[in-house]
Amino acid sequence: MASVELKSVEKSFGSVEVLRDINLSLEKGEFIVFVGPSGCGKSTLLRLIAGLEDITGGELFIDGACVNSVLPARRGISMVFQSYALYPHMNVYDNMAFGLEQARLPRHEIDRRVREAASMLQIEEYLDRKPKQLSGGQRQRVAIGRAITRQPKVFLFDEPLSNLDAALRVDTRLEIARLHKRLSATTMIYVTHDQVEAMTLADRIVVLNAGRIEQVGTPLELYEQPASRFVAGFIGSPRMNFIEGEDAAAAGAYALGVRPEHLDISRTEGRWKGTVALVEKLGSDTFIHVATEETGMINARAVGNHGVQAGDTLFVTPREDSIHYFNEDDKPVERKAAARGAA
């Protein structure tokens, strides 16, 4: 296992600055997830750690040694790509063994590692098949198995589930979680845009925005104590509602933030009155979009199959202890007595 540390790391492509002043320490055995909107620099940061891109400024350390000039193959890292990157002319066994053969390991050791990884991922029956004979989920397990056979200090995952359908994403996500438990001594860094993957897999999440780190913390820390309005709106699905104007000013803030699951709905009374514009029924939850005069459109989440319909009049009330307050700089501010009175 290995620690990873980035000190004032920067990356530019010509005159375009992609990453700025990245300072981050990853502990040995951690599962870290990088999240952020498209173009925020999360995949570029992963590629810098892998050695697939050169660092423009700053230093990268793995196990205390600076690796800025170290070749990717010598960093003790294995990477799992979004596109699987399997050799189509090789069967599964040969795909998983190829890197070990290049490293000139003894044949018995190669065989042991391949079969051990195949057993771990439950792909023993596919060892003689070509990639084209496998489903997307099976191909991704082969790609993960190939990484496992190298026994790396650090695993890197670059949006490995984005090409899979919803059911396969769930199954493969569970396999990655189990893999982390079995390989608890190995540091894992995972890039995704998927909220559920980040919240369920990570020990800590790194939120990136426009090439900078917005916040680092456990999933619940980011959910309950966002360090900025950006993080508050990015973490959580559906996204947080933001209310400006008189309600926020009365609470001594520029904006209020309330998550859909922290809103109570009623047909008879409440803080904000509005008309239901859209109802999304998912079975386990119902998302109710309410157009109010005071707040504009607001999204509430109700458990189960709620009977409300478009055109109904509803009252929406935020739970006082779950309201977030932000200033004009989009930073959180303390709840004031005025906020309690307004709620």
- Write down the domain spans for the chain: 4-230, 241-342
Mean pLDDT computed over 314-318: 95
Fold of 241-342: OB fold (Dihydrolipoamide Acetyltransferase, E2P) (2.40.50)
Q: Is the pLDDT of residue 20 over 90?
A: yes
User: 191-228 pLDDT, tens per residue?
Assistant: 998 888 999 999 999 999 999 999 999 999 999 999 99
Question: C-alpha angle with apex 274: 271 to 275, nearest 5 degrees?
Answer: 155
Sign of the CA dihedral with 16 first, then 20, 25, and 26 last: negative
CB 142 within 8 A of CB 131: yes
- pLDDT of 204 reads 97
Fold of 4-230: Rossmann fold (3.40.50)
- pLDDT of 336 reads 60
Best CA proximity match to 214, nearest among 193, 231, 194, 191: 231
- What percent of the chain lies above the pLDDT cut of 90? 72
pTM: predicted TM-score of the whole model, two decimal places: 0.89
- pLDDT of 1 reads 65
User: 159-192 pLDDT, tens per residue?
Assistant: 888 888 888 888 888 888 988 988 888 899 999 9
Let me know if 303 is exposed, middle or buried by CB neighbors in 10 A (0-12, 13-18, 19+).
exposed
Q: Is the pLDDT of residue 258 over 80?
A: yes
d(CA 132, CA 136): 9
CB 301 within 8 A of CB 238: yes
- pLDDT of 169 reads 85
Mean pLDDT computed over 14-41: 95
For 100-130, letters b (16+ CB in 10 Å) and e give beeeebeeeebeebbeebbebbebeebbeeb
Q: Which two tokens stand for residue 177?
A: 């979680």
Mean pLDDT computed over 254-263: 96
- What percent of the chain lies above the pLDDT cut of 70? 97
User: 48-60 pLDDT, tens per residue?
Assistant: 999 999 999 999 9
d(CA 167, CA 173): 10
The alpha-helical segments, DSSP class H, found in 51-182 are: 92-102, 107-121, 136-149, 166-182
- pLDDT of 68 reads 96
Between 166 and 67, name the one with better pLDDT.
Answer: 67
- pLDDT of 170 reads 86
CB 138 within 8 A of CB 172: no
